[in-house]
Structure 1
Amino acid sequence: MKPLPNALLRIAKHLNYKRTFLARDCTRVDVPCIPYEAFEFTGTKINPWYIQTLIGAVRSVSFSKYADDKIPPRSTLDFHDILENYFIFIIGVTMDIKRPFHDFETPKAPLYVVEKLKYLGKTSKTLTYDIRHGNTDELYVSCDITDVLVSTKSRKPTAYPDWWLQKHGDLVTEEKAKFAEEPLPNNEPFSSVISVKSSDIDTYQHTNWASYLKFCYESFTDHTLTNSYKRMNKAHLSNGLKSCSMIYKNETNLGDTLNVKSWESDADDDKVIFNVLKDDKVCLYCNMKFFNTFE
Structure 2
Amino acid sequence: MMKYFVHSLYHFSCVSGPHYDYIDEKGKISVWKLGSHTAINIMPNLLDGTTVKPYPTFILPISKTDKQLVFTRLYQLEMLPAFHRQQHWNMPLKMNKWIGYLGNTSFCWEMSFHNAITDELIGSGVFHAVCVDKETRRPTSIKTLKPHIHKDVGAEQLTRKKAPSGFVQPDMPRDCFVKATLVTSSCIDTNQHQNMPLYIRDCWNTACSAACEKSLPHFDEELTNFDAKKVTVLCLGEALLGDIMHIACWEHQDDPQIICCTIMKESMIIFQCQMEFYPQDQTAHQPHQPLSKL
Tell me, yes or no, whether TM beats 0.5: yes
Q: Matches of 1:105 and 1:80 in 2, distance apart?
A: 31
Give the equivalent residue in structure 2 for 1:179: 166
**Match of 2:142, SS?**
coil
Given the alignment of the two structures, is residue 138 of structure 1 paired with residue 120 of structure 2, yes or no?
yes
1:184, distance to aligned residue in structure 2 (A): 2.2
Which letter maps to 1:74?
P
Give the equivalent residue in structure 2 for 1:28: 13
Q: Matches of 1:62 and 1:182 in 2, distance apart?
A: 39
**Match of 1:33, SS?**
coil
Q: Matches of 1:245 and 1:113 in 2, distance apart?
A: 19
Q: Matches of 1:190 and 1:234 in 2, distance apart?
A: 15
Aligned counterpart for 1:49 among listed residues 32, 52, 61: 32
Which letter maps to 1:102?
H
Q: Any idea what the Cα deviations from partners look like across 1:87-130, whole Å, max 9, x if unmatched? A: 22111011101233234545653221100222111000111111
Give the equivalent residue in structure 2 for 1:150: 132
Q: Matches of 1:38 and 1:67 in 2, distance apart?
A: 28
Aligned counterpart for 1:243 among listed residues 230, 236, 247: 230
Q: Name the CA shift for 1:61/1:195 in 2 (closer, same or farther; >3 Å).
A: farther
Which sits farther off after the overlay, 186-195 or 156-165? 156-165
Q: Matches of 2:14 and 2:153 in 1, distance apart?
A: 25
Q: Name the CA shift for 1:280/1:166 in 2 (closer, same or farther; >3 Å).
A: closer
Q: Matches of 2:229 and 2:46 in 1, distance apart?
A: 31
1:60, distance to aligned residue in structure 2 (A): 4.2
Conserved in 1, the CA contact under 8 Å of 2:104 and 2:141? yes
Q: Name the CA shift for 1:145/1:90 in 2 (closer, same or farther; >3 Å).
A: same
Identity %: 19
Q: Matches of 2:270 and 2:4 in 1, distance apart?
A: 34
Given the alignment of the two structures, is residue 234 of structure 1 paired with residue 216 of structure 2, yes or no?
no
Given the alignment of the two structures, is residue 167 of structure 1 paired with residue 151 of structure 2, yes or no?
yes
1:207, distance to aligned residue in structure 2 (A): 0.3
Unaligned stretches of 5+ in structure 2? Answer: 283-294
Give the equivalent residue in structure 2 for 1:96: 78
Give the equivalent residue in structure 2 for 1:9: none
- TM-score w.r.t. structure 1 length? 0.83
Q: Matches of 2:195 and 2:38 in 1, distance apart?
A: 12
Conserved in 2, the CA contact under 8 Å of 1:236 and 1:290? no
Which letter maps to 2:152?
H
Q: Name the CA shift for 1:212/1:30 in 2 (closer, same or farther; >3 Å).
A: same
**Match of 2:217, SS?**
coil
Which letter maps to 1:29?
C
Which letter maps to 2:101?
Y
- TM-score w.r.t. structure 2 length? 0.83
Aligned counterpart for 1:74 among listed residues 53, 56, 62: 56
Give the equivalent residue in structure 2 for 1:294: 281
Q: Matches of 2:151 and 2:261 in 1, distance apart?
A: 40
Q: Matches of 1:81 and 1:216 in 2, distance apart?
A: 27
Conserved in 1, the CA contact under 8 Å of 2:41 and 2:60? no
Which sits farther off after the overlay, 61-70 or 24-33? 61-70
Q: Any idea what the Cα deviations from partners look like across 1:139-195, whole Å, max 9, x if unmatched? A: 122110000112345443211227325633764875233122232254522100111
Q: Name the CA shift for 1:116/1:80 in 2 (closer, same or farther; >3 Å).
A: closer
Q: Matches of 2:233 and 2:280 in 1, distance apart?
A: 25
Conserved in 2, the CA contact under 8 Å of 1:235 and 1:293? no
Which letter maps to 1:150?
V
Unaligned stretches of 5+ in structure 1? Answer: 1-15
**Match of 1:50, SS?**
helix
**Match of 2:211, SS?**
helix
Aligned counterpart for 2:103 among listed residues 109, 113, 121: 121
Conserved in 1, the CA contact under 8 Å of 2:216 and 2:251? yes
Q: Any idea what the Cα deviations from partners look like across 1:45-78, whole Å, max 9, x if unmatched? A: 222110011111x224489554986147635x55
